[in-house]
Structure 1
């Protein structure tokens, strides 16, 4: 098949789609992946192992100074719907028309379309052309169920949950519905009835790229939603390797705690210095060695020593296995990478979805009580780190979960589901 794919976001939104594209290409398909990266132009250098055609579009969306202003603005907003609308307005809307034009070209050349669940331009173009569309969802927090509270709180009863999801649906459509509906009007299409079930999920096939160790399918999910597992892949050349200084630091003492806010780490000197002070003081208070990921710590006045090493970047799946625990922002990719490495997490959430992941890790017994970036102090973060490091049971649970995840192959399962549904056998059965 000719398969067109499109994604938008940071590294955590792009890597899973790259992994799936490689798997589909290796299975004999002709894959074209269009990438729009919010904060980097690094994918211009990407070379596919299996020959995937990769096009990079309007990347980076934001300059470093814009990234910092938006990040600080976003994690200061308490209302999750306002927060999500603000992020889309600042990071998605400026390139929406460019991505929509690319989506229509992609649809014209493809048999099947696969998109990141935020990629309503591709979903609309595929629907207009009458071509099958697959949504890739990276978190189960947005899939309605009477068996689950929308905010991940304790069970309140199915009736209560239905009412809360209806309220969530109403507020979400009010905050975000104008985005897909503006493009639908351009093509003479009726407005979308619901963002969650009509745009983010596909009635044909929705791939939930989350390990079944972290997420169980709910009885009332629509039949098209399939938990395929973590969409992981081997180390990419653009991600680099473990540098000599990092290897020497690991060999020089006890295993450290890795600390990273990922794409949410500020790039401007002032914001970066504040984040570095928070993480550095927390590490000192917790009495642990630490690796702190920062774009330019030395320019902010922070110098590595025997207790703390500051690095600009490191491939997570290579470094996490050498650490005792991971302090991170709670992105879907980082969460699953830390869990796959068998390490407990301390989540410092910047936005609502990250709070969801922090809550899930705590529920599973492999994470501390999540903190919020807008209010966390070094003392509070240090207490969470110390509690995690002093818990053999948490380390054991994380190790057991990692062992189970290593038996999974999310990409292979996702490829199987796509081929089963849309490949020659699936197409003939549908006909």
Structure 2
């Protein structure tokens, strides 16, 4: 079977897809993996055919960050900035998609690329599988904007209705252009409705303990397009060493030695989230960690290491690295992170408490779930200061919180089981197509 993966985004988007792609390749399938060019080297040598899909996402995020800073709070400039950001990289994804999915029996994609992938899949009469890292289809439990929150099912229903209208308005023009370019696709509504009606499935790539249950809206739509909850897709040991450092991170002997020279440190990392003032963040972290008597291991991620390291006064207390292997998390006392699904999963599997400092997207959802389980606290990054971070660290270091976190690894679906379940879903999707009305 020829299986095409078309995934755009950051490490958190690409890594689960790469894990599933690798498992399918192990089963003997011909796997094509379309990912951003800046992450291609991280997958090279893993036994899959890697092709370019879209722009360099690190450069793209840097551009968005600069555009937001330039717009400030001016409403006209903000509107222009949003219009520019909305279409940034779209043409490149559309252009690259045809080469990635050509000749495929099934297409596996992510949320940011599923509209484009579904168009090509429908034209080729093949199923499309979406990988979701949180509940992102209409339901009464979780709204489309978790940062806003909702205390009632009616408010969540309203949020989804407004989100659907907004998405239709934002994508109508480019959706029509895409349909014309692809050709052979019936004009039966916005692109996102095609995805929700397309043959295939929406794989929920997170643990069942976070799934939507007993929800009439979710259950109704799941009958049309299945949404199996498989568990977190993590890098297995046999693949970890074959992936480049951009995907798995690094753990140098110097870092491991530094960790071993004292009590377990606090890990701090915000992944691909751009920090306006990295040096200020280092200062906040250093003060908060000193106040609780802990050292800090800071992973710069996609921010400039030099800017962060310049603020470090005492390297015996603070260490700054450019990337880190998530395997290191198990040797830390607390993990301070942005609440990305991948980092949240890695922290839960490590059995370590979290302080989630969320920015946007599904991150507030994961922060709320960490808080609900009593394995950490949730803060909004925009409001982060030394006092709030110190309070979050104290709460996470509480023995009861630590004990609950230690119990999490055994409660989660195993990584191998999750990958096998997801692979089964992809394989079973290849059958005669039927458009669901």
Q: Which residue does 1:309 correspond to in 2?
A: 319
Task: Quote the offset at 1:354 in angstroms.
Answer: 1.3
Q: Which residue does 1:387 correspond to in 2?
A: 395
Q: Where in structure 2 are there 5+ consecutive unaligned residues?
A: none
Q: Which residue does 1:54 correspond to in 2?
A: 50
Q: Which residue does 2:363 correspond to in 1?
A: 354
- Of the three residues 124, 130, 135, the one matched with 1:129 is 124
Shift in CA distance, 200/257, structure 1 to aligned 2, threshold 3 Å: farther
Task: Quote the offset at 1:385 in angstroms.
Answer: 1.2
Q: Which residue does 1:253 correspond to in 2?
A: 262
Shift in CA distance, 288/100, structure 1 to aligned 2, threshold 3 Å: same
Task: Quote the offset at 1:190 in angstroms.
Answer: 5.5
Q: Which residue does 1:12 correspond to in 2?
A: 12
- Of the three residues 173, 180, 189, the one matched with 2:175 is 180
Q: Which residue does 1:416 correspond to in 2?
A: 424
Q: Which residue does 1:69 correspond to in 2?
A: 66
Task: Quote the offset at 1:98 in angstroms.
Answer: 2.3
- Of the three residues 147, 160, 165, the one matched with 1:165 is 160
The worse-fitting range, judged by mean Cα deviation, of 28-37 and 237-246 is 237-246
Shift in CA distance, 313/62, structure 1 to aligned 2, threshold 3 Å: closer
Contact 2:125 2:433 survives alignment (8 Å): no
Q: Which residue does 2:228 correspond to in 1?
A: 226
Contact 2:150 2:156 survives alignment (8 Å): no
Task: Quote the offset at 1:71 in angstroms.
Answer: 7.2
Task: Compute the TM-score of the two structures, normalised by the length of structure 1.
Answer: 0.84
- Of the three residues 90, 96, 107, the one matched with 1:102 is 96
Shift in CA distance, 312/122, structure 1 to aligned 2, threshold 3 Å: same
Where in structure 2 are the equivalents of 1:251-330 lying within 5 Å?
A: 251-266=260-275, 271-294=277-300, 295-297=304-306, 300-316=310-326, 318-330=327-339
Instruction: Determine helix, strand or coil for the equivalent of 1:8.
Output: coil
Shift in CA distance, 385/312, structure 1 to aligned 2, threshold 3 Å: same
Number of residue pairs matched by the alignment: 409
Task: Quote the offset at 1:237 in angstroms.
Answer: 3.4
The worse-fitting range, judged by mean Cα deviation, of 289-298 and 60-69 is 60-69
Task: Quote the offset at 1:175 in angstroms.
Answer: 3.9
CA distance in 2, matches of 1:23, 1:114: 13
Instruction: Determine helix, strand or coil for the equivalent of 2:118.
Output: helix
Q: Which residue does 2:28 correspond to in 1?
A: 28
Contact 1:192 1:199 survives alignment (8 Å): no
Contact 2:128 2:201 survives alignment (8 Å): yes
The root-mean-square deviation of aligned C-alpha atoms, in Å, is 3.2
Instruction: Determine helix, strand or coil for the equivalent of 1:144.
Output: coil
CA distance in 2, matches of 1:373, 1:364: 20
Task: Compute the TM-score of the two structures, normalised by the length of structure 2.
Answer: 0.83
Shift in CA distance, 373/379, structure 1 to aligned 2, threshold 3 Å: same
Q: Kindly report structure 1 stretches of 4+ aligned residues shifted beyond 6 Å.
A: 85-88
Instruction: Determine helix, strand or coil for the equivalent of 1:134.
Output: strand
Shift in CA distance, 28/20, structure 1 to aligned 2, threshold 3 Å: same
User: RCO greater where, 1 or 2, for CA within 8 Å and sep 6 or more?
Assistant: 2
CA distance in 2, matches of 1:212, 1:227: 6
Deviations 1:388-423 (Å, cap 9, x if unpaired)? Answer: 11x22222222222112253522111001111232x
Shift in CA distance, 228/201, structure 1 to aligned 2, threshold 3 Å: farther
Task: Quote the offset at 1:45 in angstroms.
Answer: 5.0
Contact 2:122 2:198 survives alignment (8 Å): no
Task: Quote the offset at 1:347 in angstroms.
Answer: 1.1
